[in-house]
Amino acid sequence: MKTENSMTRRKALKGLGASMATIAVGSSLAGTAGKYTGSTDNPILENPLNKHPKPPYKKQIQPHPGLASKMDPVPDHGEKSYKGSGRLKGRKALITGGDSGIGRAAAIAYAREGADVAINYLPAEEEDAKQVIALIRDAGRKAVAIPGDITSDDFCKKLVEDAVSQLGGLDILVNNAGYQKSNLSIMDISDESFDATMKTNIYAPFWITRAALPHLPPGSSIIATTSVQAYDPSENLFDYAQTKAANVAYVKSLAKQLGPKGIRVNGVSPGPVWTPLQVCGGQEQDKLIEFGGDTPLGRAGQPAELASIFVQLADNSGSYSTGQIYGAAGGGGHP
């Protein structure tokens, strides 16, 4: 009888313990629902309003094409902040305009994610380009510098040939280089300036893509840098805005054409981003002072803030994204 009572009490206590444990776990889960559950109780949050310099910026002008290293403040391309995790290990990328601005941010990110990178730039941008090449090599990746003017069809062919030869292949193409000249009236746009805008922003991506396609295997990614100007053009960027709208059509049409070949085509649509494009005639000086100040975040973006988008669009994990335009405009824009 005593043995039976002892067994009964043990079962009861065991059942009660299990019930209490269930209640405790349930309470714990209920208390953490919707909260950060990472490795720390105090996650590091960055307020985007104060993360980077806000206007007013200093008036400054440089001769075209401009150097990031001469800007005040110097843009943040992720030189110190971008941390890679091997997402693009073994990949091979060609980036036009890779010496500064958004192209430089993409080049740094790609290298730190494990890709070998070739950058194109104008000879006048050699100072900035040397810094990028050093950063790519510091990441332990192959760096290829190919200076030259992409407004030439012949050079665009050579650019691709050199990139493929020196990288040992190609599977990421970033058509990023752009030309932007502010003019308050259509009457102020010279034929020479209009031609430079069209050839840099429309002709060059066409020429480079056509030359690159025979080398791009299934799984490759093509990325174009478009702009909010494609959707909400400024009155002083009449010709530039037209080219950015053409870049959106380039993405959407080419994605349909190349989808069956297993090649994805996407675009990144920046808003006001602090790059040399703005200080070498891309903005009027009076507008430069408050550049980006009219966005909900109240400031211009930094190239580093777009780098992760370029990585995602190149990464295999983004395999169902094609024909898409990804926006980064501080609260403005339409994509």
| Residue numbers annotated as active site | 240
| Angstrom distance (rounded) from CA 2 to CA 83 | 67
The token pair that represents 133 in the structure block: 């090449």
Distances in whole angstroms, Cα of residue 99 to Cα of each of 125, 227, 233, 268, 311: 7, 19, 26, 18, 17
In the numeric block, which tokens belong to residue 74? 């110097």
d(CA 112, CA 138): 9
Give the long-range contacts of residues 128-134, CB within 8 A, separation 24 or more. Answer: 128/67, 128/68, 128/69, 128/99, 128/100, 128/104, 129/98, 129/99, 131/69, 132/98, 132/99, 132/100, 132/104, 132/107, 132/108
Answer whether 278's CB lies under 8 Å from 291's CB. yes
Residue 119: C-alpha distances to residues 53, 116, 256 (Å):
27, 10, 27
Element (H, E) at 112: helix 101-112
Beta-carbon contacts of residue 116 (< 8 Å; ≥ 6 apart): 91, 92, 93, 141, 142, 143, 144, 167, 168
Q: In what order do the strands lie in the sheet with 172-175?
A: 143-147, 116-121, 92-96, 172-175, 221-225, 264-270, 325-328
